[in-house]
């Protein structure tokens, strides 16, 4: 945890010194990389493999319903 906080502090200081122009350049580079089809394909493969391993335990899976993570209630089975 200390390493993370140290890294965040160093990043903040360096970012503050670099200014807005450098920040915009970093954001553009990140978006270009993240939007690249090869990266999107690799992310899809990783998402699928993780989904196979953990299944319903993912908090961000599509089967969890609304934005607050609650599932829709399933209708109760009626006895005939």
* pLDDT at residue 35, as a whole number: 93
pLDDT digits (tens, 9 = 90+) for 29-70: 999 999 999 999 999 999 999 888 887 666 665 554 555 555
How far apart are the C-alpha atoms of 25 and 11, rounded to whole Å?
A: 15
- Is the distance from CB of 74 to CB of 66 less than 8 angstroms? no
- Is the distance from CB of 39 to CB of 46 less than 8 angstroms? no
Give the list of residues 6+ apart from residue 76 with CB closer than 8 angstroms, or none.
none
* pLDDT at residue 52, as a whole number: 86
* pLDDT at residue 43, as a whole number: 92
If you ran DSSP here, which 8-state letter would residue 58 be given? -
Structure tokens at 20: 């807005």
């Amino acid at each position: 945890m200390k390493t993370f906080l140290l890294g965040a502090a160093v990043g903040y200081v360096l970012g503050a010194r670099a200014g807005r122009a450098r920040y915009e350049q970093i954001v553009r580079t990140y978006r270009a990389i993240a939007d690249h089809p090869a990266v999107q394909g690799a992310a899809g493969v990783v998402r699928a493999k993780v989904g196979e391993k953990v299944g319903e335990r993912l908090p961000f899976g599509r089967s969890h319903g609304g934005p607050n993570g609650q599932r829709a209630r399933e209708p109760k089975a009626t006895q005939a």
